Amino acid sequence: MCRYSGSCHCGDIIFRFSADEITDALRCTCSICRRKGAALSNFTIPPDGLEVVAREGTLSSYKFGTKTATHHFCNRCGIFTFVETRLNPGQYRVNLGCIDEVDIFVLPVIVFDGTTI
């Protein structure tokens, strides 16, 4: 089990979690993920497994469509940090691009069809 730490660009939002070694990434084809272009964790993290530290007033969220998935981002630098998933409410996926130790450009990518679900 590895301990990971990620942050938005300005550092106002920091998140930490434990998981097996990250060996691949997930890309979703839904309209917001397609526009963000984020490489997400291919596993979900339970609420008690994701520690979030944010400067007061900087963590913002966005919901659309079914209003189930909650996309969290920094309202200072604009970076998308993590999402509470639509298919597994209460579970989170993180933006792997926010983790310095993870090189998203060398990870194999799994594409999730978020447009038909």
Residue 100 placed within a domain: yes
CA–CA distances in Å: residue 81 to residues 14, 20, 107, 116, 117: 9, 19, 18, 24, 23
The per-residue pLDDT for 35 is 92
Containing domain of residue 68, as a range? 2-112
Residue 11 placed within a domain: yes
Number of compact structural domains in the chain: 1
CATH code of 80's domain: 2.170.150.70
| pTM recorded for the entire structure | 0.92
Cβ atoms 69, 83 nearer than 8 A:
yes
Q: Taking CA 17 as the corner, what is the angle to CA 11 and CA 18, rounded to the nearest 5 degrees?
A: 145
Residue 117 placed within a domain: no
Residue 63 placed within a domain: yes
Residue 20 placed within a domain: yes
Per-residue pLDDT of the chain (117 residues; tens, 9 = 90+): 999 999 999 999 999 999 999 999 999 888 888 899 999 999 999 999 999 999 999 999 999 888 888 999 999 999 999 999 988 889 999 999 999 999 999 999 999 887 775
